[in-house]
Amino acid sequence: MANVTLPSHPMTYPELFDVAKQDPSLSWPEQLWWAHYAFWDNDILATGVITFLAHEVIYFGRCIPWIIADAMPSVFKRFKIQDQKAPPSVSDQWTCVKYILAIHIIVELPLIVLFHPMMELCGLQWTLPFPKFSTLAAQIALFFVVEDTYHYWLHRAMHWGPLYRAIHRIHHQYAAPFGLTAEYASPWETFFLGLGTICPPLILGYVTGNVHLITVLSWMALRQVQAIDAHSGYDFPWSLRRIFPFWGGSDWHDDHHRYFWGNYSSSFTYWDVLMGTVAGPRGKAMGHNPRR
Ligand SMILES: [Zn+2]
Ligand SMILES: [Zn+2]
C-alpha cells in the first residue's frame, strides 16, 4: 500500500476499503484487514476491536443453531444425547447469556486489550501479507494438540475436591449441557483454561518468529466452535467424531457432565484412553473408574 496517497480528511471504513482495492496484489480479506487497521489508526485498538468482536460474534452466532434446535424438539430430539431430560428453559439460556457477557467484559476484555503488546513482545506479525494457508493450518493443528494436553491435566486437577469446590463447580451446574454453557465457568477457570488457547501461539511466535494474528484469530474461532459444539447436547450421524478417530465432540464431553468424572480432554480422546479416565459405560467397558 506504499504507493497510495490518503486524503487529509478522516476516511470511513468503506472509503478505506476502496483505497485498499487499488492494490491488486492483496486478496479481499487482506484489503479488509488493511482498511480496519487504517480506520483505527492505532494498532492496539484495532487488534482489540477485531479480537473482541470476532469472539462475541462467533460465540453467540454459533450458539443460535443450538438454541433453535432446543426450541424444535419434534425435529431435533432424536439427535439429543440426554433425550430423557427436558431441554434448557428460556430462563436457563438467558441466565447463561447474562453471565457469559459479564465474564467476556470483565475477564476477557482486559486480556484482549493486553494481547497486542504481548503479541509485539513475542514477535508475532499483524501486518500484510497474510501467511500461506498451509502454514496457518499446520500451526492450528499444533495448537489443538497442545491445548488438548494442557486442558486434560488442568481440567483433571480441577476435579480435585478443593479446586472443584472453589473454581470448577460453576461449570458443572448443568449436568445436561447446551451450547451456551461452553464458557459458563468461574472467572478463574476462564483465565487459567484460556491460557491454553492464548499461550501456544505466543510461544510458537517467540520461538519461530513466524506466527500471524490472523492465524491466532482463526485458531480462537475454531476452538470456540469446538467448545460450543462439545456442549451442544446433540450428536448427529455426520458429527466430526464419526469421521476423525480420536476426536471427542459432544458425545464425549456430554458424558463428562453427566458422570462428573472422566473425559477431561477438550478436543481429542487419546489422553483419557491412555490415562484410564474414560467416562460412563464406555469407560466401564475399558476397565476405567470401576467404582462407577
Ligand atoms: Zn469438569
Ligand atoms: Zn463442559
Q: What is the pLDDT of residues 161-190, one digit of tens each?
A: 999 999 999 999 988 889 999 999 999 999
Distance 262 CA to ligand 1 centre (A): 8
CA of 182 to the centre of ligand 2 (A): 6
Cell numbers of 136, please?
A: 496457518
40 CA distance to ligand 1 middle (Å): 40
User: From ligand 2's centre to the CA of 288, what distance in Å?
Assistant: 20
CB burial of residue 7 (10 Å; 0-12, 13-18, 19+): exposed
CA distances (Å), origin 63, targets 5, 82, 176, 229, 254:
43, 18, 16, 8, 16
Percent above pLDDT 90 for the chain: 70
Q: What backbone phi and psi angles, to 5 degrees, belong to 237? A: -60, -20
Ligand nearest to the CA of 254: 2
Distance in Å, CA 257 to ligand 2 centroid: 6
Which range among 6-10, 13-17, 38-42, 111-115 shows the weakest confidence by mean pLDDT?
A: 6-10
Ligand 1 centroid to residue 51 C-alpha, Å? 27
Indicate the Cα dihedral angle 275, 281, 285, 290, nearest 10°. Answer: 60
Query: Cα–Cα distance between 235 and 126 in angstroms, integer?
Result: 37
Ligand 2 centroid vs 116 CA: distance in angstroms? 29
The beta strand positions in the chain, using DSSP E, are none
Residue 260 alpha carbon to ligand 1 centre in Å: 7
State the average pLDDT over residues 73-90: 85
Helix (H, G, I), strand (E, B) or coil at 59: helix
Alpha-carbon gap, residue 178 to 180, rounded angstroms = 6
Confidence label for 194 from pLDDT (cuts 50, 70 and 90): very high
- Highest mean pLDDT out of 77-81, 153-157, 253-257: 153-157
Considering every ligand atom shown, identify the ligand nearest to the alpha carbon of residue 180 and give its number: 2
Rounded mean pLDDT of the chain? 91
Confidence of residue 51 (pLDDT cuts 50, 70, 90): very high
Centre of ligand 1 from the C-alpha of residue 137, in Å = 29
163 and 216 in contact (C-beta within 8 Å)? no
- Going from the Cα of 236 to the center of ligand 2, the distance in angstroms, rounded, reads 19
Q: How far is the CA of 158 from the centre of ligand 1 (A)?
A: 7
Identify the residue whose cell numbers are 466452535. 225
CA of residue 137 to ligand 2 center, whole Å: 26
**172 Cα to the center of ligand 2, angstroms:** 7
What does pTM read for this prediction?
0.92
Rounded distance from Cα 96 to ligand 2 centre (Å): 13
Q: Report CA-CA distances (Å) from 30 to 21, 24, 37, 45, 229.
A: 10, 11, 11, 18, 29
> What is residue 162's three-state secondary structure?
helix
Say whether pLDDT at 271 is over 80: yes
The answer on pLDDT for 5 being more than 70 is no
**Nine cell digits for residue 231:** 456442549
Q: How far is the CA of 261 from the centre of ligand 2 (A)?
A: 11
Confidence of residue 8 (pLDDT cuts 50, 70, 90): low
Angstrom distance (rounded) from CA 95 to CA 173: 12
Phi and psi at residue 247, to the nearest 5°: -85, 130
* Residue 256 Cα to ligand 1 middle (Å): 7
Q: Which ligand is nearest to the CA of 262?
A: 1
